[in-house]
Amino acid sequence: MRGPLGRTRVKICALTRRDDALRAADLGADAVGFVFAPGSRRRVDPDRVAGIVEELPPFVTPVGVFRDQPAGEVRRIVRGCGLGLAQLHGDEDPAYARSLGVPVLKAVGVDGPGALAEVGRWAGLGAVLLDTPGGGTGRTFEWALAVEAKRHARVVLAGGLHPGNVARAIRRVRPWGVDVASGTEAAPGVKDPEKLAAFFRAVAGADREVARDEGGST
């Protein structure tokens, strides 16, 4: 399953700075992500995120990234920051996700065919994010498994993506969306403007190629 007119949705994650978030939005990001998970080098203060979210243009979804945190804490951050989506990277279950009162994107670590059963467990969501186990590793996983996962849910592809490989990933998997963090950074939590721009150019170019292959247009 692909986005409208074959367009791959793009989420830029692990943002910590206002200027980076606004630059990502201006380049065409559909979503921007902020990490609230304990222990992350890219964790950001909710008050700072709330200020950034207020400046985002319309139709850009702010996303909070969480890992095994109390549901009440997640709800407070979601409300206080004005987030539109909670991205879950821990051992959360569907009941926990439903209790948050906000749309959820569940990350599934792909370490082999067994991950497909976990994708199926979350198939009721709008999409599932497929990542390298542990997340934030900068490493890819076997993309053939992402192709298989598309039988169960819309796929947002993550894990080691960067301007040099995202076009190949889109041509191979044809996901609903892609998610990038370290692959567009100059340092942890600091985006590189040239890498960001190159990432969007690569996505757009791959979408044009896929549209030609499918006999459509963008």
Q: Which of 20, 81, 131, 179 is catalytic?
A: 131
- What pLDDT, in 10s, does the model give residues 91-109? 999 999 999 999 999 999 9
Among 189, 191, 209, 198, CA closest to 163: 198
For residue 63, what are the β-bridge partners? 33, 85
Q: Is 131 a catalytic residue?
A: yes
Q: Which of 13, 20, 81, 207 is catalytic?
A: 13
187: exposed, middle or buried (Cβ count in 10 Å: 0-12, 13-18, 19+)? exposed
- What pLDDT, in 10s, does the model give residues 12-51? 999 999 999 999 999 999 999 999 999 999 999 999 999 9
Q: Where residue 2 falls among pLDDT bands split at 50, 70, 90?
A: low
Q: Where residue 213 falls among pLDDT bands split at 50, 70, 90?
A: confident
Q: What is the mean pLDDT of the chain?
A: 93
Distance CA 81, CA 139 (A): 30
Top-tier CATH class for 4-210: alpha beta
